[in-house]
Chains A and B, each alone.
Chain A
């Protein structure tokens, strides 16, 4: 009996593996060729860059929400802190793009780690509320500390520096295609790390906590510690995305930390499918393109974005990927 299973399993597993490899190849192919096909559909490279960065943010939110079952509604704070960290570094410390990203990621991630330790015992809506409120603390700091952050006017006066690769320098400031590929490489690195963690035993304990916290606790998993670790990791990813966002705009502003921005990240994750690794990226693509498109058509685009939230909640609670999967299966 065991032998039979062992023989059958590899076939099924191989097919599964082949399918996911094909899927991966498709995703990376589409992303890698984006600057070439997007103009034909009325897109533009800057839009693609924005999708990647916000998609990474949504994936970071989903790392916590979709895979651990913990809803943070204040994650924009870490995104925004990443942006400010990156911008302030470029403006005041050194003119280096990679180092500024490191600085932004550290700022957001470390603050997230500290805050996370305070709130990790809260659950459900209460956790969501506390994260909103703490997120707003950082919003107000960015808003009020005008001498450092530029306050409501935002932080300006920095630009991404050309990449010095030793043998050559790449102009990522004026060449938007080069910058797109730079962001794509950063995105790929973050996604790889995220995927690696999720496939690890630690990643499976995340699923365990999401599925059944009590069972997980009595398997001997220290729940609070694990949630804190996941929260912190998620904050680091978020801050990394935020740093890239500062480079996209050469700018950082308080609105990037506002809870409404957090809401956008969550809806991107849910819209794409929060049980799926690539769901949030799809969600971000749909959300960003839709917003870009509708807001050019009508001043009342906010109404339609609100409607999108309602429709997703009522009709696509498992997201687009979940919806398609269900259709395929039935």
Chain B
């Protein structure tokens, strides 16, 4: 343990090493190396556990320096990063183990496991860094791993496009983050997080707000907040364990982590927090509505993740970053559980469309049991973990803005509704699918069980987490809890009532409100709007610019100089007419002109 406590860099180095070994070993040794790959997240988790109460100072080194100005890189483990490390370590371990079964038949397993290991390394770098530069490096690297993993089955055009969309959308946020870095660099002369947070209270109000908003832009991109959420549903093209790890538990939560990490900057700006609160709140309700009508099991989970992240941002906006982190942790547990569960379902049922499933509980008892644990936790029903963390979030938001809180209650209702809509459709009722499903192997079910236990119990970890973060423990607010439970149960019951007997009632409903249904199904048209307003015009603009400006004006001008001088040259050469008298007169004329010039100059 002391090894990990005093050498936190192992959390980065070991996964990189693992990745190299797996990559080099390639196809030949996949059987062995895929178990070896577990080493990567385990190390990360160990470092997190070791660093929980560690007093070891940051380890930093100059990344680059010039003429006395230096940009430092460094890593350190404190409470916040320890929590993140443990989350990453545990979920990643489960995912790797799950993947051994899930990816058993894929040819490119080596690439898959290597990328998972690199992702682990990058994520550890992100959460441990003491410098915004290191953080940004990790930030981008996880994005790149996400890109490569979403596009893992790149033969599918949809996967390739989704990967690109994910990367580019988060990059839009990164534009803001990069500018935020630049602004902080200009304002504080450093990119060291400790320095910046130390200087944050002294920043000019405008600077603080701008910096906070720019950082939030980055966070919103990574954490799929409206309107930068559009990539996350598409990201489900990747292998399901990847969705569980990256697009539910860790990477997408990095935005929350970033704001928590840079809290003093946000603390310095009321305006920025308000923006965060409302963006989060809106995202929560918006995504929840969309999740209610999706038919792809993973899409439901994706919108659910967006919605839950909205909860966290709302908490951040309300000033309760501890609550946000708490919800992050519990969400990581139950959402990765749900994703892995869906993976197991997909593995067993060979389809992702919930309309084609049904009654799977009979064939897949373990999966079904664990899934229900996860769904209950998601719905926020006590005593499972989701209840406690959501309660903390709601309480804090209520404190900051009752209006936002009431929206969040509505979102809670929808959460419970869609969670059990899926549960009912998939596991209960009559089977609608053509194939006979089967339970998954042990390597897949074991992680489900572990995560289910965590999802059930993590709610009681609220106090230790708060302590580790250096915050006051939350006190359960009974009023809020009561309402929240009522809402959750309402959602649960209505979903069961509506869907337990199949889709019949629901489809009648959706036909009746078909316009609304289509709108929701299309995610309120945000995706199409972005496509039409931003992407297509840029590409058309680029094409037009190339044809009109680059080829027709600039290059034509360049070539025109050439042809123009040739034309003049032709004209001049034509003066050479071949007439003897003209030639002779040129000599005399030359003399006269020369004399004229001389006399004119010498006036």
Interaction A to B: no
B interface list, Cβ under 8 A from A? none
